[in-house]
Chain A
C-alpha cells in the first residue's frame, strides 16, 4: 500500500500508518528497530533498496530522510513536509515492514529530528545510517543523538583515509562504519589462520585498492592487535587483495585477486582456497543491524592512529621503524599464485596507481605473466 501525503506532519503520518495496518488486517506488527536513512534525492533509491534487502529477514520501520533545503532564498524561507508511506509486503521495495520517505523542504531540512522523533517505534532501538555525507560528529548530530547505533561509510567520502581519522577523533560508543563491516570476513579468516598456527608475528602488510579505507582499517586492526609494524600497499584491487603476516616460521598469506575466492597459505600447511566474496550493501547493513551494542573492537582499531601505518600515501608519514622486508621468495606463495585463476571479470581501475617503494606487487606480477 502506497500513500502520498503532501504538506503534512508527523502525527498525520502516524495516523495514516495505523490506518494502513488496520486495512491490511494486521494491527500489530512485531518490528524490531527503526532505521533512519539520511540521504538526498539522488541517493535515496539505492540506499532504500539496500535497507529493504537487509530488512527482508525481519520487519523494521525505515524512515528515509530526504533533505531538500532548496536553492533560492525564497525556497529556503519556506518549509514543508511531504511523505510517502509504504506498508505491507505487496510493495516490492518495502521489504516486510514499513517504509516512510520523508521529504523535508526549506528550513525544515535542518530540523529533521523534529519529524523523525514522533515516528520512532516505541521502546525499540534506533539506527541512523548516512550512506554518504555523514556529519563530522555523528554522535552530536541531532538525528545521531536519537540513535543507539550510527552507521557511516568512509568509502563514500572524497578523502576516505581522512574520513577515518575524523571518525577516530569524534568516536562515541555506538559509532560504526561500513568500511569496518566490509572486513569482517577478512578478520575472521585471519584470526582463524592464527588459531591454526600459534606463532609470533613480526610484521604485516595489507594490500588493497587506492581510496579503499577498509585496507587502512584492516591494517589498523592488525597493528592494534599485534603491536607490530604494519604496511599498507596499493594494488589494483578490487578492494583488498591480500594480507601477509611475517612470522618466525614464514609467511601467513591470504591472497584474493579476483574479489571472491581467496587463497590461504600458512607455513607448514597446505595452501587452501577460502571463499571471501565481496558483499553487497544490503548484506553489510544486515550484519550491522545484528548487534546494536557499541563495537569496541572498531573503536580501538580506528583510534589506533593512521600515522602508525607505513604506506605509500604521502598523507601518512612513514614511521621511524621500517617494516622488515617480507620474504617474497617464499616458495609456497609463489606456487599458489600459479594455480590461482586469473581475474578477468573485474573491471580494475586502469591507471596503475603509484607502486609502493618500487616493489611490484603480486597482482601486477600476475597480470604481467598472463
Chain B
C-alpha cells in the first residue's frame, strides 16, 4: 500500500483495536460537484468520515464544476448539503477542520486553463495542508465525459503520482452500456490510471448487509453445509424501487432496468451469494472467486420463456396516482425501454448445478426493497399428514439488504393448542437492534477505502466486462423480439414474470 501506515509507527499496535484506520494524508477532487449524488451522498459522507475521526488532518476537498464560484461559495454549498443530509450530528469544530481545506475550481472539462488551475490548487494544498501529493479524482459525471476528463488529467500531469504518493480515479456506473462500450471505457481509463488505481463504485457493495453475506456464509458453520444444490431449491434476488424515473429520463431511456441494475448490482449480489470461499479477504482473492462464479453463469436456452421485461403503466402507488412510463416527461411514447426485468440464470458448477437463480428488478413496484432469498427444498419426507402441513411453505433464509437491514430465517413450527398443525414462522436478526455502532452509509465506507487504497469492495474491470457478456445476449434478444409488457404502477411487475416462475412450479416471494 502506498500510504504510510502500519509497522514503522511505534504508536500503532495490532492489539489496540480502538484506534481506527485513518486515511493517510490525502485529498479528494470531485468532478461534477454540483450534481445530486455529490450533494446528497458524497459531501455528507466526507463530513461523516471527518466526524468519526477517520480523515487525516489536513484532508482537502476540491470541487470542479462549471459554476462561477469562489472557495467560500463552494464551502457554503457543502455546508448546506452536510447539514441537510449527513448521518451524524453537525459539529462546528469538525466543520472548521474540513472547511479550511475546501477549494473550488471553475471550468469546463475541455478547458485547459481550468485544469492548470486545478493543478496549482493541488500543489498549493500539498503545501498549505500537507496532502502529500495523494489525490483521488471522483468522476461524478455522465460517462460520455470520462474520456475528456481523464485525458485532461493526463495532459496536465494530474494523473502522474510522484514516487511515494498516489493518484486514483473513482468512477460511478454505468460502466458502459454493453461489452464493447465497457471495454472501450476501460481502455480509456487504464491508459491514464493503472488498473489497481481505478475504483469503480457499486454502492451496494459498501452496504453492511452485503459485506455481511460473506460473514454469514464463511464465519458460521450452520449455513454453509446447506448452501448448495442438495438443500437449496432456488434463489431469488430482488431489487425493487417504488419511484419512477423522476428527472432521469435522459439517462434512463434507452438504458433500462436490466442495464441499470442487473448488470452491476444484482450480478454482484449473485456472485457474493454463490461464490466459493476465497483464500483470503484481499481484493485479488475475492476477484478470483467472484470471476469464477460469474464465468460459470449460464443463460437459459429459451430466452423468450425465461426472461421478462415490462414497463410501468399508469396506476396507483401507495395512495398516489402516478403516470405510466410512456407518459413521463421526456420519454418517447414508442419507447421499448424496460423498467422491469426478470431473468432466470443457472450456475454450472458442482455446488449449484440445477439450482435456478431468479433475478428481478423494477421501478414503480410495490415497495422499495432489496433482498436475497435462498429458498430451501421441502423436507424429503413428512411424517405429518398433508392437512397438518398445509400452511407450511419452504424454509427460507432472506438477507434484507435494504431497507430494514437484517436476516430472516423462515421455518415451520407447530401452532399452539392444535393437535398437530404446522405453520411458517420467522426468526429475525435486525442490524439496528444488535449493534452499538450504527451502520455507516455505503459511501462513507467506499470513500474511506479509496483513500486507504483498499480495493475489496470495488468491482474490477474483468467483472464488469463479464457481467456485460452475461447480459448482452438478453438485450439483443429483447431488441429483436416484441416489446415490454405493461404492468400497473404499484404492483409487483408484469403477469409474464409470474408465469415464468409458474412454469417451473414456483412463485415469487412477496418481499
Chain A positions near chain B (C-beta within 8 angstroms): 29-32, 54-55, 57-59, 96, 184-185, 187-196, 198, 201, 222, 225-227, 260-261, 264, 266, 269-270, 272-277, 286-287, 289-291, 293, 295-297
| A291–B130 CB distance below 8 A | no
Known: A30-B434, A188-B53, A275-B91. 18 other contacts (CB 8 A): A32-B433, A57-B436, A96-B433, A189-B53, A190-B11, A191-B22, A196-B24, A196-B57, A260-B92, A261-B93, A269-B58, A270-B130, A272-B57, A272-B100, A273-B57, A273-B97, A273-B100, A275-B50
| B96–A187 CB distance below 8 A | no
| B18–A275 CB distance below 8 A | no
A-B contact pairs, 13 of them (CB 8 A): A32-B433, A58-B434, A96-B433, A191-B11, A191-B19, A196-B4, A198-B9, A273-B93, A273-B96, A275-B51, A275-B94, A293-B17, A296-B16
Given contacts A201-B10, A272-B57, A277-B93, contact A30 B18 (CB under 8 A): no
Q: Which residue of B lies closest to A289 (CB)?
A: B436
Q: Is B20 an interface residue (CB 8 A)?
A: yes
| B96–A32 CB distance below 8 A | no
In the assembled complex, how far is the CB of residue B89 from the closest CB belonging to chain A, in whole angstroms? 11
Which 7 pairs, one residue from A and one from B, show the smallest C-beta to C-beta distance? A297-B16, A30-B433, A269-B130, A261-B93, A191-B11, A275-B94, A260-B93
Q: Is B112 an interface residue (CB 8 A)?
A: no
Which listed residue, A54, A198, A274, A295, touches B57 by the CB 8 Å rule? A274
Instruction: Tally chain B residues at the interface, Cβ within 8 Å.
Output: 46
Interface centre among B4, B19, B50, B434, by most chain A C-beta atoms within 10 angstroms, is B19
Interface centre among B8, B9, B17, B25, by most chain A C-beta atoms within 10 angstroms, is B9
Q: How many angstroms between the C-alpha atoms of A222 and B12 in the bound complex?
A: 11
Q: How many angstroms between the C-alpha atoms of A228 and B460 in the bound complex?
A: 46
| A187–B430 CB distance below 8 A | no
Docked complex: B1-47 residues within 8 A CB-CB of A:
3-5, 8-13, 15-20, 22, 24-25
Interface centre among A185, A261, A286, by most chain B C-beta atoms within 10 angstroms, is A261
Given contacts A188-B20, A273-B100, contact A297 B15 (CB under 8 A): yes
| A196–B91 CB distance below 8 A | no
Q: Which residues of A contact B3 (CB under 8 A)?
A: 195
Q: Which residue of B lies closest to A59 (CB)?
A: B433
Q: Which residues of A contact B8 (CB under 8 A)?
A: 198
Chain B positions near chain A (C-beta within 8 angstroms): 3-5, 8-13, 15-20, 22, 24-25, 50-51, 53, 56-58, 91-94, 96-97, 100, 127-130, 132, 428-430, 432-438
Given contacts A187-B18, A291-B18, contact A30 B91 (CB under 8 A): no
In the assembled complex, how far is the CB of residue B343 from the closest CB belonging to chain A, in whole angstroms? 35
Q: Which residues of B contact A295 (CB under 8 A)?
A: 18
Interface centre among B58, B430, B435, by most chain A C-beta atoms within 10 angstroms, is B58
Q: Which residue of B lies closest to A30 (CB)?
A: B433
Interface centre among A54, A96, A187, by most chain B C-beta atoms within 10 angstroms, is A187
| B5–A185 CB distance below 8 A | no
Q: Which residue of B lies closest to A32 (CB)?
A: B434
| B22–A275 CB distance below 8 A | no
Q: Which residues of A contact B53 (CB under 8 A)?
A: 185, 188-189, 275
In the assembled complex, how far is the CB of residue B130 from the closest CB belonging to chain A, in whole angstroms? 4
| B436–A58 CB distance below 8 A | yes
Which listed residue, A31, A188, A195, touches B4 by the CB 8 Å rule? A195
In the assembled complex, how far is the CB of residue B507 from the closest CB belonging to chain A, in whole angstroms? 28
In the assembled complex, how far is the CB of residue A29 from the closest CB belonging to chain B, in whole angstroms? 7
Q: How many angstroms between the C-alpha atoms of A264 and B22 in the bound complex?
A: 15
In the assembled complex, how far is the CB of residue B228 from the closest CB belonging to chain A, in whole angstroms? 29
Interface centre among A192, A198, A287, by most chain B C-beta atoms within 10 angstroms, is A192
Q: Which residues of A contact B50 (CB under 8 A)?
A: 275
Q: Which residues of B contact A55 (CB under 8 A)?
A: 436
| B432–A198 CB distance below 8 A | no
Q: Which residues of A contact B5 (CB under 8 A)?
A: 195
In the assembled complex, how far is the CB of residue B58 from the closest CB belonging to chain A, in whole angstroms? 4
Q: How many angstroms between the C-alpha atoms of A184 and B8 in the bound complex?
A: 20
